[in-house]
Each structure stands twice: as C-alpha cells, then as structure tokens.
Amino acid sequence: MSEIIKPKVWASFDPPPAVLEYLNENLDFSYNATGQLATRRMIEEQLPGLDGFFLTLRDFVDAELIEAASDLKIIANLAVGYDNIDLAAANRRGIWVTNTPDVLTAASADLAWALLLAVARRIPEGDRMVRSGQYSGWRHDLLLGTELSGKTLGIWGVGRIGQAIGQRATGFNLRVIYSNRSRKESFERECRARWVEFDELFRRSDFLVLAMPLNEETHNRIGKTELELMKPSAILINIARGGLIREDELIEVLRSKRIAGAGLDVYVDTTGIHKKLGDLEHVVLTPHIGSATRETRERMAFLAARNLIDVLRGLEPENAVNRDEIRSLRATIPAPLRALAV
Ligand code: DGY
C-alpha cells in the first residue's frame, strides 16, 4: 500500500503542546526548536520545500523569500496584524495569508486598560518607590494621578479590539469618541460612542488609545502636529504597532511634558526600545504583551493551525486576509487545472 504523503509545514517557533499534537497528526510538521528567534537564513533554507509556513510577527517575509518558495500555499501568522508579510508578493503567487483575529480581542483590550490605569494612577512609579524603600506612609500629596470618571476616552481604530476597549469604558464612566475610516453604528449605539474627525480626536481625548492596524495609510500617521493638538493633561496609549507614530517626535513631546504621559506596548524597533523612552518617568512601557495570556496564545496557535490544515486539504481558510485576491486569481485558472492549485 502506498504511504500517504502529508503536506510539509515548518514553524519558526515551538507551538504549545496541544497544538503541536494536532499539527503532527495532520501534517508533516517540524519547527525551529532552538528556543531562539528564527533567523532569516533559517527561513530562507526552509521555505523552498514547504507547503505551509507557520510564523510569528517577529519573522519578516519579504518578496524575495516568497518568490523562492515555489511550493508554498499558505503563510499562517500567529498574530492579528500582518505587517510582517509582503502581502502583494503573496497575492502575486496565489499564497493564502492568514491571521488570528477575535481570539485575542479581550486580552489586547485588557492590556490597553492596564496601561491606561497604570499611567493615570502612576502605578509603576509607586511600585518603584515602595521597593526602593522610599515609602514611609500615606501623604496627602503622594503620587497624585488623574481621575478617569467623567473624562473622554478616544479610540483611533474601532475594529474588534478598538470596540472591546470602548465596551470596557462604560464601567469607568467615560465618554467615548472614536475615529475610523468608516463609521460603526452598532458600536456607537452600544457604547454611546461618537465618531469625530481625526484631528478632533486628538483635541478632545483625555485618554487616547491607538488600535489601528499598521499599513501604508497608517504608517507614521501620528507626529508632532497631531500630538501637539492634545491637551497637556492627556495620556496616549499605543497597543497596536510602533510604526503608527513618529517615535522621535513622540519622545520630544513627552520630554517637554507637552502631554501628561504615555503607555506603550509597541515600538518602532520591533527588537527593543528607543533608549530615550526608558528615561521618561511618566511613561509606562510593556514588551509587546497585548495578546500574552496562556489561554489566548493557545487559541491563536490553534486557529493558525486550523487555517494551515484547511488550506492544505484544499479548503478555504477561516481567517484569510487576502481572500478576494486569491479567489480572483483562481478564477483566472482554467477549470481543469484549478484542483491542482490547492
Ligand atoms: C497581534 O496579534 O498583532 C498582536 O500585536 C500580538 O500581541
């Protein structure tokens, strides 16, 4: 009897054990087991023989890598954002690109709130004070922060995560305003949110959360001009991507105390932070942990694995980010050859 040949998939990282089992059952699966980030060289060596590539947002897949991957049918990203993948190159080659939406919405929205509260109530400063032995009891003027209740929360980008951030505002008695490419009427009804122009969002927000995907349109969209529209008492939170803001200009605005503070989970440099950010007391910094809960990361890995397996069985994946492009490309393939295109 002939042996069934399973599609070949490689992951740039070690998936959680339950997901590993699922992948091993269904695929000829292997992964980077070094415990270190996959290098470009490693990816370059693996890609040409693969049917599917399972990667994280730390792996950059450019046109050159994609062109050399002659058998590749799917790139499955362990993230909702996919700015690490050259989508146009994948589209040209008819390769599915998938992401992991929904399952990380709550965790990411929670982190936005954790940062907002940490900056507004100066929690890390208090923690540093207590640990360093400088705390000697209650004082009427100790670490005075900013009240949330009755203020205005602004959200730039109301996809799933932005909306979940808005939903959490009700409990804190905040007014919600937002700016987005299109209006979201159900969100407006549910959260009593008001759509405002981009500039007005900066002018009116007491707390402004960035929840936009990074793409050509949003890259470097926020700079000194926008930041200087903000109230001096305002706090900026970024849980989306560092590339939304011109970071040097943000640092300048923060250093001159032109705004009251910031909470950042993401940076322009995806491998570390701009040193000058670390010198600022009124800024809370976290290491890109928006989706970092055990439950969420496992759900993300399962979802990505399911997308891989579906595509390699000839089905459409649940979470394609280039569905229209792949469908229209397939429509141009003569019917008798279509089945071969996976
Ligand atoms: C994503 O999935 O894009 C998030 O940034 C991960 O935390």
Instruction: Give the domain CATH number at 259.
Output: 3.40.50.720
| pLDDT at residue 285, rounded to an integer | 97
Domain boundary among the residues 285, 317, 332 is at 285
The residues of the chain scoring below 70 in pLDDT are 1-2, 334-342
Residue keyed to tokens 């759509």: 195
Distance CA 205, CA 237 (A): 11
Whether residue 47 lies inside any domain: the answer is yes
β-pair partners for 235: 207, 261
- CA distances to 104, 265, 306 from 278, rounded to whole Å, are 27, 13, 39
pTM of the model: 0.93
| pLDDT at residue 1, rounded to an integer | 54
Binding pocket residue ranges, ligand 1, CB within 6 Å: 57, 79-81, 104, 288, 290-291
Domain that holds residue 98: 8-102+294-341
| pLDDT at residue 330, rounded to an integer | 83
Contact 73, 52 (CB under 8 A): yes
Tell me how far the alpha carbon of residue 301 lies from the centroid of ligand 1, in angstroms: 12
Whether residue 3 lies inside any domain: the answer is no
- CA distances to 24, 238, 293, 297, 327 from 18, rounded to whole Å, are 10, 32, 16, 12, 32
Task: Give the position, in ligand 1's atom list, of the atom nearest the Cα of 300.
Answer: 2
Tell me how far the alpha carbon of residue 184 lies from the centroid of ligand 1, in angstroms: 22
| pLDDT at residue 73, rounded to an integer | 98
Contact 159, 108 (CB under 8 A): no
Pocket test for ligand 1, best of 13, 56, 57 (most atoms within 8 A of CB): 57
- Count of domains for the chain: 2
Angle 123-131/105-120 helices, nearest 10 degrees? Answer: 60
Task: Give the position, in ligand 1's atom list, of the atom nearest the Cα of 239.
Answer: 5
Distance CA 225, CA 230 (A): 9
Residues 114 and 242 in one domain: yes
Task: Give the position, in ligand 1's atom list, of the atom nearest the Cα of 266.
Answer: 5
Domain boundary among the residues 263, 285, 307 is at 285
- Of 290, 263, 265, nearest to 104 (Cα)? 290
Contact 317, 311 (CB under 8 A): yes
